[in-house]
Amino acid sequence: MEEIKVDEKEVLACCGSTQFAKQMAMIGESPSSQTTSAKWSKGEQSTALATATDVGLGNYPTGMLGIGKNLDMYSDMCAGRSAAEILGELKNRYSNRPIVELEIASQEQMKHVTATLEGLPAKALQVQARTRPPITTHVLDVSKGCPAAGIEVRLEMWKGSQPHPSFGETDTGRWVLEGSSTTDRDGRSGQLMSMVDALSPGVYRISFNTGKYNPGGFFPYVSIVFEIKESQTLEHFHVPLLLSPFSFSTYRGS
**Positions at the binding site:** 138, 188, 251
d(CA 139, CA 118): 45
Mapped onto helix, strand or coil, the DSSP state of residue 162 is coil
- Residue 174's Cβ-count burial label (10 Å; 0-12, 13-18, 19+) is middle
Which residues, in sequence order, are CB contacts of 159 under 8 Å at separation 6+? 174, 175, 176
d(CA 58, CA 71): 19
Evaluate whether 137 touches 180 at the Cβ level (below 8 Å): no
Which of 254, 253, 202, 248 shows the shortest CA–CA distance to 225?
202
d(CA 177, CA 193): 9
Evaluate whether 6 touches 27 at the Cβ level (below 8 Å): yes
Which residues, in sequence order, are CB contacts of 184 under 8 Å at separation 6+? 149, 190
Q: For the chain, what's the residue count?
A: 254
Q: Which amino acid is at 16?
A: G
Sequence ranges of the binding site for substrate: 138, 188, 251
Order of strands, sheet of 139-141, starting from the edge strand that comes earlier in the sequence: 146-147, 139-141, 241-244, 247-250
